[in-house]
Amino acid sequence: MLEKSLAFSRLDNAFARFLSQRSALIDDQQRAFEDLARFMSYHQSQGHNCIRINQEHKSLVLASGLAVLAEQAYTPLPLVVEHDRLYLHRYWHYENQLALKIQAMTHTRQPPQPLDTALDRYFPPTAEIDWQREAAKIALTQCFSIITGGPGTGKTTTVVKILALLQELAEPPLHIALAAPTGKAAMRLQESIGANKAALPCTNAIKQLIPETVTTLHRLLGATPPSPYFRHDADNPLVHDLIVVDEASMVDLALMSKLLAALKRGARLILLGDQDQLASVESGAVLTDLTAALPLHTLELKKSHRFGGIIKEFAVAVNQQQPEAAWQCLQKPNETVSLLASDLISYIAEQQNNYLMLVKNEATFSVIYNAFNRFQVLCSNHQGKKGVRDINYRVEQKLFAQKRIYLSGQWYAGRPIMITQNNAALHLYNGDIGLCLPDKDQDNKLMVFFQDANGQIKKQLPSRLPACETVFAMTIHKSQGSEFEEVLLVLPDTINPVLTKELLYTGITRAKKTITLSASKAIFTATVSQKIERVTGLIDKFKQVTDSPNQ
């Protein structure tokens, strides 16, 4: 039975009506088909690649004249039926092409080389298992590999050593690209690569062959907005011999499929990420599916080198869906993990004291920027009470009432903003953070200042910026790829589908020093108990390819 209580959008209704009117069905069958199409559209918007269907639905869809079985999917019809799954043709194609490409890469072995001596130099032998060394072994011998692990397990440290080892073994040197899904994640990876290169036990010549510049995946592939296509694809592949993608849990099915399609023959791909974090905003749970489907190409780093203590205990309890144990972490007498005891808006306003004082005293941008990024409010939802828009509005009003900002209009000195729409011409991308400050070079005219991955400062007139919003608070989704000294996690007063243990775990692991939670025990418990379950066929596709007699 299809759920009747779902909040279908206008798009869901229009899509369903469009298909049903073009089907070969009439009367009750046409109405049943329209209901199914509406249900499918809704679940696509919720991040599912497909929906599960029963035999009755399968017969109905095939009778519509708008669907084909997977083995006949070369026929250009909008729907594809594969076993008990119904897809939009495009998403079936993404899954299928992704599975075929990765399967081909996993069947390509690198020529055997004596690795132990080189590995000993980068990963000195220890009495216990060195998971970083084990990850390096996989990455050195496979064209496709995944390195997963929680915060502080050394994913970037490991991959820098892998890059050095690969360059030592390569002839000629490899052409390497480093990428991440967002500008913030790219900046963090770039900083980490730069910090780790100096300590490598190799020659300066090898170090010079390891790039420090990290780009976004969209820029790497050559985005051509508003088109969904990229300059680089199967017909115009990337030139790189090796591509490393950080924060791979954020990469959706469509983007991952397009990345794999754009790899040249023989290229390597290394994915880095935490499979326990939130899945991508768009369709799929690609990293989770790939780690489950390809255990021989996946290595989880299990030892944390900087993430420990009660924050780790709290994160682990949430991740393992132990709400009572996680709640007890909040009850212990400590300042690291705690429940918010004071008024929410007053607390947030108080945390902006140092930042706004530096703005008032006209400190350098770098000092102001670092002060702002020390503390961040992370919300589960964008809309509604205790959502991002609500909190940002109330914090601005509070600060204005305290005469710490001056709201004469939309723009004011000290306004922090987040870009919400890509603008390649200005080199500003969704998720970039800027601060509105007086520009001494232009008679204190208000400008919005940004710091890029290289630490370079750029500025723009507020009127020239693409769509943006105030960011005293941001969603946990938007915080992925970032870290803050102190984090305030805010959950709403009522349960909703967004609240999951993955969301909470992701928010907790953004904090380096302290976590404060604003939530009731009932909402917290419900959140920890709820898990993301996305319907995909990716794991099954790997099994199908493996079991195929042609392989």
Q: Distance between CA atoms of 499 and 537, rounded to whole angstroms?
A: 24
Contact at 8 Å (CB) between 8 and 38? yes
DSSP code string of 393-404:
HHHHHHHHHTTS
Residue 298 annotated as part of some ligand binding site: no
The number of C-alpha atoms within 13 Å of 518 and in the hemisphere containing its C-beta is: 23
Contact at 8 Å (CB) between 210 and 167? yes
Residue 141 annotated as part of some ligand binding site: no
- 310-529 has which fold? Rossmann fold (3.40.50)
Residue 3: the pLDDT is 63
Q: Distance between CA atoms of 251 and 182, rounded to whole angstroms?
A: 10
Q: Distance between CA atoms of 268 and 297, rounded to whole angstroms?
A: 12
Residue 284 annotated as part of some ligand binding site: no
Beta bridge partners of 459: 449
Residue 5: the pLDDT is 63
Residue 149 annotated as part of some ligand binding site: yes
Q: Using H for helix, E for strand and C for coil, what is the string for 6-67?
A: CCCCHHHHHHHHHHHHCCCCCHHHHHHHHHHHHHHHHHHHCCCCCEECCHHHHHHHHHCCCE
Q: Is the pTM of this model over 0.85?
A: yes
Residue 153 annotated as part of some ligand binding site: yes
Q: Distance between CA atoms of 513 and 119, rounded to whole angstroms?
A: 33
Residue 414 annotated as part of some ligand binding site: no
The answer to whether the Cα torsion of 51, 56, 62, 66 is positive or negative is: negative
Residue 4: the pLDDT is 61
108-306 and 310-529: same fold? yes
Residue 548: the pLDDT is 45
Q: Distance between CA atoms of 15 and 170, rounded to whole angstroms?
A: 52
Pick out the chain residues at pLDDT < 50.
547-551
Class of domain 108-306: alpha beta
Domain residue extents for the chain: 10-87, 108-306, 310-529
Residue 537 annotated as part of some ligand binding site: no
Beta bridge partners of 82: 85
Residue 154 annotated as part of some ligand binding site: yes
Residue 510: the pLDDT is 93
Q: Which of 271, 296, 219 is nearest to 98 (CA)?
A: 271
| Tens digits of residue pLDDT in 260-314 | 999 999 999 999 999 999 888 889 999 999 999 999 999 999 888 767 789 999 9
- Residue type for position 348: I
Residue 549: the pLDDT is 40
Q: Distance between CA atoms of 266 and 96, rounded to whole angstroms?
A: 20
